Amino acid sequence: MTILDAFRLDGKVALVTGANRGLGRAIAAALAEAGADVAGLNRSSDNGGAAALVTAAGRRYHHIACDLGAATRADLKAAIDEVIDQLGGLDILVNNAGLIRRADILDYSDEDWNLVIQVNLTAAFQLAQLAAGRMVEAGGGKIINIASLLSFQGGIRVPAYTASKHGLVGVTLAMANELAGKGVNVNAIAPGYMVTDNTAALRADPKRNAAILERIPAGHWGEPEELQGAVVFLASDAANYVHGAVLPVDGGWLAR
């Protein structure tokens, strides 16, 4: 196998949460272009074009409707089982789905806290746990958690998001410790300030937008496509000896 062959995902099956738009759509497209069939777990129907991008790459796409904010462990197990039944296996899980609720710290509601923690951390852990069980049975697999710059920093007006993304890195490290010897790689990617729905409010605020851009050495907000290389790497055999890593893709933000 040549080094470039090691990056191929031919014959693999990937599950991407939040594949409808933004980072998830770009991730689904990249995995398909590298050779994987893709299941997208989305709260709504596939109205973001992920299916078209995956099939245009010559791969199969399967949509799973699931609201992670309300999903039980049984719902998530059913989703994992559906991927395996429909696409023939599960080799790669990308925990991408996430949400932000913004409010001043003194006014932050329990409802917002509980919802963000459920989607960003609890559901992600449960999906990773369930997927890992099937991967161990099959002889290996790759789990990639989409963390954040706020896995390292505190942020402003987003305490639940910050807590969830710190927690997701902790889960990544804990799972890597136990699963590395079982053939399952668990790693995370920490995107920087990307052009997504979650950052629309920041980009629309002239002061916040200017302050953020001033801090990014690359000089621009990241585009979802700029995450694709990191995802394909961590999903591939090229990353077989990479366990418990948190890879920033942030335009140099953390280097400042």
Residue 255 lies in a domain: no
Residue 254 lies in a domain: no
Among candidate residues 121, 113, 227, 229, the one with its CA nearest the CA of residue 175: 121
Residue 177 lies in a domain: yes
Residue 256 lies in a domain: no
Q: How confident is the model at residue 197 (pLDDT cuts 50, 70, 90)?
A: confident
Active-site annotation holder among 61, 161, 193, 241:
161
C-alpha neighbours within 13 Å on the C-beta side of residue 142: 27
pLDDT digits (tens, 9 = 90+) for 113-159: 999 999 999 999 999 999 999 999 999 999 999 999 999 999 999 99
What does pTM read for this prediction? Answer: 0.97
Residue 155 lies in a domain: yes
Cβ-Cβ contacts under 8 Å for 128 (sequence gap 6 or more) = 93, 95, 143, 145, 171, 175, 186
* Domain count for the chain: 1
- Catalytic status, residue 161: yes
pLDDT digits (tens, 9 = 90+) for 28-76: 999 999 999 999 999 987 666 899 999 999 999 999 999 999 999 999 9
Q: Which domain holds residue 60?
A: 5-249
Give the domain CATH number at 179: 3.40.50.720
Residue-level pLDDT at 74:
98
Q: Is residue 106 within 8 Å of residue 153, measured between CB atoms?
A: no
